[in-house]
Amino acid sequence: MFDFIYLLRIIAAILITNSHYEAIYPHSMIANGGLLGDVIFFAVSGFCLFPVKQGFPKWYGRRLKRIYPLVWIITLIYLLFGFYQANSVKTFVKLLVYPTYYHFVASIILLYIVFYVVARILQSEPKLFARRFFAIITVLVIAYGVIYGTVYDRSFYHIDTVREPMIEFLYFLAMMIGLWFRHNKERYLGHGKAWPWLAALFLFAAYFASKLAFSRGMISSDYQFLNQMILLLLLLCLFRGFVGLENKLNHMPRKLHGAMVFVAGFAFEIYLVQYALIPRLNLGPFPVNFLLVSGTIFLSALALHRLHDWIMGRIERNGITEDKSNCV
């Protein structure tokens, strides 16, 4: 695994967790950045999973084995404690199979299929990679525009709602950004530049300003697609900036590097445990509630990670190989 990927996984987990802290902070506007964290996770997935080297059944099976055991473990625990409710077989299946309680899982297990097809097309003719890549991007943008201009409800601002189908275009384009950087890693890896950081700073401000403007009706909701376009440009600049840090990250102090790798190893678990914990542990004034919630999320995610490893280790000893890639 590349060191900048470890760092991006941690940043994504922090941003997503922070966005769920509306009731924790003195001002709810501080609780932001969740969608940025989401697209970082998807871009990291696109980077890690390209190129694909297996037939689809085995490749897809490995992806599902990386995700579902964790989802099953935490869902069953939360059902046991009464945090989640399943009053029928149908609801139980929804929690454990699809769409689950987690919008990231519902999206990624579908986008894996599209990603596999696209990756196969791109890697089949290396000399045509760039031409095919931009052709696919063009098709995606046209499809996005057609849906946005015809059936999408533009009467109010909701384009960043994570459980709406329109978000899948954003997530898959994020995966394509990661794929591009993986294919061209020799060009970018360790080659740091100042411009991505300056552009990212500007786009970061523009992105959150646009969210505020759209949510308050300062800009017509007809143009809310601009919010996602700005976010993708921000992601592109951030990824370019972080991939350029690889050489510097390689020379981090050993203990700091070890801590980074350690926390990145259960970033997905941090995402899984937090939903049930945040509202139940919002006790006391800020920052007491912040420390209590954050500490419990961290320890619970680590416990889930250890429990998963123990269970999968037992299964592995019985002849089923565990996926060690840590790549969601």
Given a cut of 80, whether residue 322 has pLDDT beyond it is: no
Provide the number of structural domains found in the chain: 1
Q: What is the pLDDT of residue 1?
A: 83
Of the pLDDT bands very low, low, confident and very high (cuts 50, 70, 90), residue 92 is very high
Looking at the domain assignment, is residue 322 inside a domain? no
Report d(CA 281, CA 290) in Å as an integer. Answer: 9
Q: What is the pLDDT of residue 318?
A: 75
**H or E segment at 123?**
helix 103-124
Looking at the domain assignment, is residue 323 inside a domain? no
Looking at the domain assignment, is residue 327 inside a domain? no
pLDDT tens digits, 289-307 = 999 999 999 999 999 999 9
pLDDT tens digits, 245-256 = 999 999 999 999
Looking at the domain assignment, is residue 47 inside a domain? yes
Residue type at 197 in one-letter notation: W
Tokens matching residue 291: 């420390």
- Which is nearest to 49 in space by CA: 98, 117, 99? 117
Looking at the domain assignment, is residue 95 inside a domain? yes
Which long-range contacts does 64-69 make (Cβ < 8 Å, 24+ apart)?
64/109, 65/322, 65/323, 66/323, 66/325, 66/326, 66/327, 66/328, 67/105, 67/108, 67/109, 67/268, 67/328, 69/308, 69/311, 69/312
Q: What is the pLDDT of residue 264?
A: 98
Report d(CA 176, CA 119) in Å as an integer. Answer: 9
Q: Is 237 within 8 Å of 207 (Cβ atoms)?
A: no
Q: What is the pLDDT of residue 328?
A: 77
pLDDT tens digits, 192-239 = 999 999 999 999 999 999 999 999 999 999 999 999 999 999 999 999
Looking at the domain assignment, is residue 155 inside a domain? yes
Looking at the domain assignment, is residue 233 inside a domain? yes
Q: What is the pLDDT of residue 320?
A: 52
pLDDT tens digits, 56-65 = 999 999 999 9
pLDDT tens digits, 176-198 = 999 999 999 999 999 999 999 99
Q: What is the pLDDT of residue 56?
A: 97
SS in 3 state form for 26-50?
Answer: CCHHHCCCHHHHHHHHHHHHHHHHC
pLDDT tens digits, 95-151 = 999 999 999 999 999 999 999 999 999 999 999 999 999 999 999 999 999 999 999
Angle at 132 between CA 129 and CA 138, to 5 degrees: 140
Looking at the domain assignment, is residue 301 inside a domain? yes
Report d(CA 16, CA 26) in Å as an integer. Answer: 18
pTM: 0.95
Identify the domain containing residue 287 by its residue range. 3-317
Of the pLDDT bands very low, low, confident and very high (cuts 50, 70, 90), residue 15 is very high
Given a cut of 70, whether residue 50 has pLDDT beyond it is: yes
